[in-house]
């Protein structure tokens, strides 16, 4: 029991460190592993906006949708003490009928999302693929998309008993169609500015 207490105490110390970081530094903890990275390149933000807009229009708050099923949020801070994690996904979504919606007036959010997207960059790719992917699986996130700007593709993953299992890779010349959203009627290439 004392080993668990020590792990939680260590996690709390990492959280204090995270909260002292300057605004220009992005800090995250994934299953007890601490990482800081600089702000991402502009292409990252372009992909983030394009993907978020496509999903929000289709499933969120588009015209004629009286009671949206999905809530999409850009870079919410997600915390799981049980999994020693405090993460910032590039995009996250909660589904009203499965996970419910979190209280957006509370930061960090403790309710794990149904879906997250990480936009890969040279400074975060290793962390996103290893520690962060493991944390998302352990937290119960249903689906993860890794959006690779340089390869111009979207890698999809589904949670199978706490592990993120690879699914289809959506190439730039194909359509954006993957769980949990199905076909979006959007070419993958349209995610990538330029």
pTM: 0.93
Spell out the CATH class of 2-191.
alpha beta
Q: Which residue's entry shows tokens 């699914």?
A: 167
* Distance (Å, whole) CA 177 – CA 174: 9
Instruction: Per-residue pLDDT tens, the chain, 194 aa: give them.
Output: 577 788 889 999 999 999 999 988 899 999 999 999 887 778 888 999 999 998 988 886 656 666 788 999 999 999 999 999 999 999 999 999 988 999 999 999 999 999 999 999 888 899 999 999 999 999 999 999 999 999 999 999 999 999 999 999 999 999 999 999 999 888 999 999 87
Tell me if 138 sits within 8 A of 108, measured CB to CB.
Answer: no
Its sign, for the CA torsion 152, 158, 159, 165, is negative
Q: Which residue's entry shows tokens 């340089």?
A: 150
* Distance (Å, whole) CA 162 – CA 34: 21
**What pairs with residue 145 in β-bridges?**
117, 156
């Amino acid at each position: 029991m004392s080993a668990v207490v020590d792990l939680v105490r260590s996690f709390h110390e990492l959280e204090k460190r995270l909260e002292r970081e300057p605004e220009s530094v992005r800090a995250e903890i994934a299953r007890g592993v601490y990482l800081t990275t600089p702000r991402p390149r502009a292409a990252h933000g372009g992909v983030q906006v394009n993907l978020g807009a496509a999903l929000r229009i289709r499933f969120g708050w588009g015209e004629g949708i009286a009671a949206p099923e999905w809530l999409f949020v850009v870079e919410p801070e997600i915390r799981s003490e049980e999994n020693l994690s405090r993460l910032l996904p590039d995009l996250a979504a909660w589904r009203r009928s499965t996970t419910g919606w979190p209280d957006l007036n509370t930061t960090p959010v403790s309710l794990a999302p149904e879906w997250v997207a990480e936009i890969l960059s040279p400074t975060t790719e290793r962390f996103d693929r290893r520690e962060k992917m493991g944390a998302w699986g352990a937290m119960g996130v249903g689906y993860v998309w890794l959006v690779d700007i340089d390869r111009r593709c979207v890698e999809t993953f589904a949670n199978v008993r706490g592990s993120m299992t690879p699914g289809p890779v959506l190439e730039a010349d194909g359509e954006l169609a993957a769980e949990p959203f199905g076909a979006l009627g959007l070419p993958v290439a349209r995610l990538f500015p330029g």
